[in-house]
Amino acid sequence: MQHLDLQTILFIIITIIISLAVHEFMHAFIGFKLGDRTAHDEGRLTLNPLAHIDPVMTVLLPIGTLLLFGAPILAAKPVPFNPYNLKYDEFGAAMIAAAGPLSNLALAVVGALALNAVGFGNEVARNFLQIFTELNVALFVFNLIPIPPLDGSRVLYAFSPEPLRRILQDIEPYGFFIIIALVLAGGLGGFITNLNNMVLNLLP
């Protein structure tokens, strides 16, 4: 990603707002389609980003990590659902979880296609589309890490034996701190970078 001049920071903020709104909307939409109205009734079945913003996790955390590490780490307010209302039990919950990262992958594909279509003379548009594509790939990869409360852990839970499910349940209250600690220690950096590059190379 480019160096952090004012234009780049603006493009990152715009991308985060769009991408998180779509990500959280898709969680709520799939939950609604699977029979649960919880997110709908709490006003989360919307593309309005204000409905999904948490002041600390969505605003302060990404600003801090962007300035410290050159990459934003963030989370929106979790989209609520009642598992007892869902079709397909834990597999329904896994479908809700997977919908968020898959929406970011879809946005990355759209961004890559638009980037290919934009002429080389339009540098501003190309810079924005490159940031849009790369950040959505990063959101896709990061959210599929199987550590609670990330979406990948919900998908893993649906297909796990009972002992692993208990482990996931036990670490969930500390999951985000574990993720931050791993990022700070460099334990996820190379792995995530390699996955990001792999996905980016597969885009059109």
Residue 3: which pLDDT band, with cuts at 50, 70 and 90?
low
Stated pTM of the model? 0.90
* Residues annotated as part of the active site: 24
Return the domain boundaries, the chain: 6-202
List, in order, residues 6 or more apart from 33 with CB less than 8 Å away. none
Residue 25: which pLDDT band, with cuts at 50, 70 and 90?
very high
The pLDDT assigned to 157 comes to 95
Residue 185: which pLDDT band, with cuts at 50, 70 and 90?
confident
**Rg, Å, the chain Cα set:** 17
Q: What percent of the chain has pLDDT over 70?
A: 94
The pLDDT assigned to 115 comes to 95
The pLDDT assigned to 198 comes to 94
Residue range 165-179, pLDDT digits in tens:
999 999 999 988 888
The pLDDT assigned to 167 comes to 95
Q: Hey, CA dihedral for 36, 41, 44, 46, is it positive or negative? A: positive
The C-alpha atoms of residue 30 and residue 98 are separated, in whole angstroms, by 10
Per the prediction, the chain carries an average pLDDT of 90
Angle 61-69/6-33 helices, nearest 10 degrees? Answer: 130
Residue range 118-145, pLDDT digits in tens:
877 789 999 999 999 999 999 999 899 9
Taking residues 84-107, what's their average pLDDT? 96
The pLDDT assigned to 64 comes to 77
Look up residue 96 and give its amino acid: I
Residue 54: which pLDDT band, with cuts at 50, 70 and 90?
confident
